[in-house]
Amino acid sequence: MTSRRMQHILPGSAIFLLASVVTWLSFTEQPAEAFLFPRVISVVFISLAIWNLIRAVTGMSKVGRGIPVATLKNLVPGLIVMLAFVFFGAKHLGFYLGSTLAFFAIYSFYDPALWTSSKDWMKRIFVTVAFMAVIYALFAVVLQVHTPRGILF
């Protein structure tokens, strides 16, 4: 087996393992009504993971040569914010406050606008508030999904 093929099999296996855990959790947690939306998403997630793993193992995935170091360095801050949100923010701050802080941090870091401009900071705040208002309306009002509770609902 070539190293190029392993570059597809290893991430494909990791994604399949993650999808399996998410699917298992969504079908075993209670109350069942609260996990209807995650169950639908997890079935799609595991289906795509299986398809991706089959393509990797059979050698049908021949695109790319891995992630260059420069790209990986650009991804690290976003991954750190994401992990902080998943393991701390959603649980201790609540879904909406944690999501707002995570979105604002990621948006601020990756926004090419100047950090010294108050106009750009106001734009970041406005976009964050607008985005979170849409997320709140979608999850709480339309889908009626139970989100992790914390400081702010």
Integer Cα distance of 108 and 114 in angstroms: 10
Closest of 81, 111, 114 to residue 99, by C-alpha:
81
pLDDT at 97: 86
Average pLDDT over residues 90-112: 88
Per-residue pLDDT of 15-50, as tens digits, reads 999 999 989 988 888 877 777 888 889 999 999 999
Angle (CA) 68 72 76, round 5°:
175
The answer to whether residue 96 scores a pLDDT higher than 90 is no
pTM, rounded to two decimals: 0.62
pLDDT band at 151 (very low <50, low <70, confident <90, very high): low
Domain boundaries of the chain, sorted by first residue: 1-66, 69-153
pLDDT at 16: 94
Integer Cα distance of 80 and 86 in angstroms: 10
pLDDT band at 2 (very low <50, low <70, confident <90, very high): low
Mean per-residue pLDDT of the chain: 85
Average pLDDT over residues 98-113: 92
